[in-house]
Amino acid sequence: MHSVGGFLLGSWANAHWQVGYEDDDVYWVAADVGRLTFPIQAVVGGLACGMTVACFEGALDFPTTTRFYEICERHAVTKILAAPTLIRMLRKFGDDLAAAHPLPGLKLITAQGEPLDGDTFAWATDTFDVPVINAYGQTETGSTWTYPVYGAEPLKAGSAGTAAPGHTFAIVDDDNNPVPPGVKGNLVLTSPFPTLCRTVWDDHQRYLDTYFATFPGSCPTNDEAVLDRDGHIWVLGRADDVINVAGHRISTMEIEAVVTSDPDVVEAAVVGVPEATKGTVPIAFVTLRSSCEDGVADRIRALVAAEMGGYARPDRVYVTPATPKTRTGKTMRRLLRDVVVHGGPTGDTSAMEDPSALEAVTDVVRG
**Predicted local confidence at residue 58, as pLDDT:** 82
- Tally the residues of the chain: 367
Of 321, 357, 330, nearest in space to 32 by CA: 330
For the chain, which ranges sit under pLDDT 70?
A: 240, 328
Q: Alpha-carbon distance 173 to 179, whole Å?
A: 6
- Do residues 14 and 45 make contact, with C-beta atoms less than 8 angstroms apart? yes
pLDDT in tens, 213-271: 889 999 999 888 999 999 999 998 777 678 888 778 788 988 998 999 999 999 999 99
Domain boundaries along the sequence of the chain? 4-162, 169-237, 239-366
- Do residues 50 and 102 make contact, with C-beta atoms less than 8 angstroms apart? no
Q: Read off φ and ψ for residue 45, nearest 5 degrees.
A: -65, -50
**Predicted local confidence at residue 262, as pLDDT:** 92
**Predicted local confidence at residue 240, as pLDDT:** 67
Of 189, 89, 81, nearest in space to 133 by CA: 81
- Do residues 81 and 30 make contact, with C-beta atoms less than 8 angstroms apart? yes
Q: Compute CA 155 distance to the chain's CA centroid, rounded to the nearest angstrom.
A: 17
- Do residues 178 and 171 make contact, with C-beta atoms less than 8 angstroms apart? yes
Q: Is 193 exposed, middle or buried (0-12, 13-18, 19+ CB in 10 A)?
A: buried
**Predicted local confidence at residue 241, as pLDDT:** 78
In words, the CATH class of domain 239-366 is: alpha beta
Q: How do 242-245 and 248-251 pair as beta strands?
A: antiparallel
Of 87, 89, 82, nearest in space to 62 by CA: 89
- Do residues 336 and 285 make contact, with C-beta atoms less than 8 angstroms apart? yes
Q: Classify the C-alpha dihedral 127-131-136-139 as positive or negative.
A: negative
Reduced to 3 DSSP states, what percent helix, strand and coil does the chain have, rounded to the nearest 5?
A: 35, 25, 45
Q: Read off φ and ψ for residue 287, nearest 5 degrees.
A: -115, 130
Q: State the DSSP string of 265-307.
A: EEEEEEEEEEETTTEEEEEEEEEESSS--TTHHHHHHHHHHHH
Q: Which residues contact 329 (CB under 8 A, 6 or more apart)?
A: 31, 32, 83, 85, 86, 113
**Predicted local confidence at residue 80, as pLDDT:** 97
CATH code assigned to 169-237: 2.30.38.10
pTM: 0.74
- Do residues 146 and 132 make contact, with C-beta atoms less than 8 angstroms apart? no
**Predicted local confidence at residue 250, as pLDDT:** 86
Domain 4-162 of CATH type 3.40.50.12780: yes
Tell which phi-psi region holds residue 16, choosing left (phi > 0), alpha (psi between -120 and 50) or beta: alpha
Cis peptide bond N-terminal to 321, omega within 30: no
- Do residues 27 and 42 make contact, with C-beta atoms less than 8 angstroms apart? yes
- Do residues 88 and 286 make contact, with C-beta atoms less than 8 angstroms apart? no
